Amino acid sequence: MIDLKKTEATTLTDAPIGEKKNKSNKSLLIALLLIALLGTWGYVIWDKNNTKTLISQKDKDISATAAQRDELQKELEEATIRYDEIKTSNDQKDSLIVVKDREIQNKKTKINTILAKVNATQAELSEVKSLIASLNSDIEGYKAQIALLEGQKEELTKANQNLSTQRDNLQKDFDASIEEIKNKDKTIDIGSTLHASNFSIVPIDERGNGKTKETTNAKKVDKLRISFDLDENMITATGTKKLYIIITDPSGKIIATEESGKFNTQDNSNLDYTQQMEINYTKNQRQTVSFDWKSGGKYIIGDYKIEVYNNGFKIGQGIRQLKKGGLFG
C-alpha cells in the first residue's frame, strides 16, 4: 500500500525549491537585461558625445579653413592693390614688364580659382599661400623694373633737354651766322655792284640807201642807239655780269618785247624789264656797253627813259627826248 502521508510530504517539500530556482533565474535575466540596457545607454551616450566632439572639431576645422581663406583673400587683395597702383603709374613698358604682367595675371587667376572652391583642401590653401608669396615677389620685381625704367626715362628726359638746349643754341648760332653771311653777301653785292655812267641815247633814222642819220623827230626814229660806261670796280671779279635794261616810253609804260621778263630787286620787288644783257667784265677796268634797240612800233613824242640794273640795284639811267618834226611834222 502506498503511504499517502509520505508522498504528500515529499511533494510539499519539493515545491518551494522549484519556485526558488525560477525566481533566481528570473532575477538573473533581469540583471542581464539591466546590464545590457545600461551598456546600450552608455554606448549611446558615448557615441553622442563622440559625435559632438567630431562635429565640434569639424566646425573648428571649417572655421579655421574659412579664416585662412579670408586671410589669403585679404593678402591677395592687398597684393592686387599694390600691383594696380604700380601698373597704372607706368605708361611705357619694355618686354620684361610685359612678361611680368602675364606671369602675375596667371598666378592671380590660379589663386582666385582655388579660393572660389567651397571645399578647398588644406593642401590647396597651402598652395595658395605659396602662390601669394611668389606673387608678392613678382610684384616687387615688377616695381624694381618700373623704377629702373623711370630712372632711365628721367635720364633720357634730361639728355633730351640738354640736346634741345644745345640744338637751340646751335640754331641761334647758325641763324646768327646766316644773318652775318647775308649781311656780308649784301655788303659784297653792294660793293661788287657795277656802276653805269656817261649815258648816251641817240635816236637813229635809217635811210633807204643804208645810211643812218641822227634825228630827234619822233616820226623818223627807227631805233635808239644806247651806250654807257661801266666804271672801274676793285671788288667785282672778272667774269660774265648780267644787266637788266628797262625802257619806259613817254606815257610811263615799260616797253615789252619777246625778250622781256621779270627780275627781283634787293628790296624784294619784282620788276618788268625790257631787255636782258650779259657782258664780260674785267675787274677794275672801265668799259663801254653799246647796243641798238628797236621798239617794234612807232615812237611817240616825249621822254624815253633807260634804266640799268645789276645785282638787283639800279646802277644808272639816261633820258632822251623825242620831238615833233619841223614845219610838216
Interval 26-55: pLDDT, tens: 788 888 888 888 878 777 777 777 776 766
CATH superfamily of 196-322: Immunoglobulins (2.60.40.10)
Interval 276-322: pLDDT, tens: 999 999 999 999 999 999 987 899 999 999 999 999 999 999 999 99
- Domain extent listing, the chain: 62-192, 196-322
Global pTM reads 0.48
1 has a pLDDT exceeding 60: no
pLDDT at 54: 66
DSSP 146-197: HHHHHHHHHHHHHHHHHHHHHHHHHHHHHHHHHHHHHHHHHHHHHHH---EE
CB count, 10 Å around CB of 111? 23
Higher pLDDT, 204 or 191: 204
Interval 179-196: pLDDT, tens: 777 666 666 668 889 999
Query: Comparing C-alpha atoms, which of 232, 237, 246 is closest to residue 293?
Result: 246
